[in-house]
């Protein structure tokens, strides 16, 4: 089974992967993290790897495009 990486998109709400939400997101207490519509970030899951070049780790299991 091959893992597919979906293209990153600007997201106002992302699934909560770990115990905390990524920087800039608020825990909605329903398994999701949201920016409450204030900002739109392009994020992608880290999948346990380092973030690619041009991306920064924002915690919560996500990288954000710089």
Q: Split the chain (66 residues) into runs of 10 and give each run's mean pLDDT.
A: 59 94 96 95 95 96 95
User: What is the helix, strand, coil percentage profile of the chain, to 5?
Assistant: 0, 40, 60
Q: Domain ranges in the chain?
A: 9-65
**pTM above 0.85?**
no
Q: What is the pLDDT of residue 9?
A: 75
Q: What is the pLDDT of residue 10?
A: 84
Q: What is the pLDDT of residue 33?
A: 97
| Cα–Cα distance measured from residue 28 to residue 8, given in angstroms and rounded to the nearest whole number | 22
| Cα–Cα distance measured from residue 51 to residue 35, given in angstroms and rounded to the nearest whole number | 21
Nearest residue to 39 via CA among 53, 60, 25: 25
| Residue with the two structure tokens 């970030």 | 41
Nearest residue to 14 via CA among 57, 48, 60: 60
């Amino acid at each position: 089974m091959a893992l597919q990486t979906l293209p990153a998109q600007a997201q106002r709400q992302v699934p909560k992967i770990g115990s905390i939400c990524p920087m800039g997101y608020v825990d909605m207490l329903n398994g999701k993290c949201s920016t409450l519509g204030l900002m739109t970030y392009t994020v992608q899951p880290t999948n346990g790897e380092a973030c690619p070049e041009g991306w920064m780790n924002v915690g919560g299991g996500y990288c954000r495009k710089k």
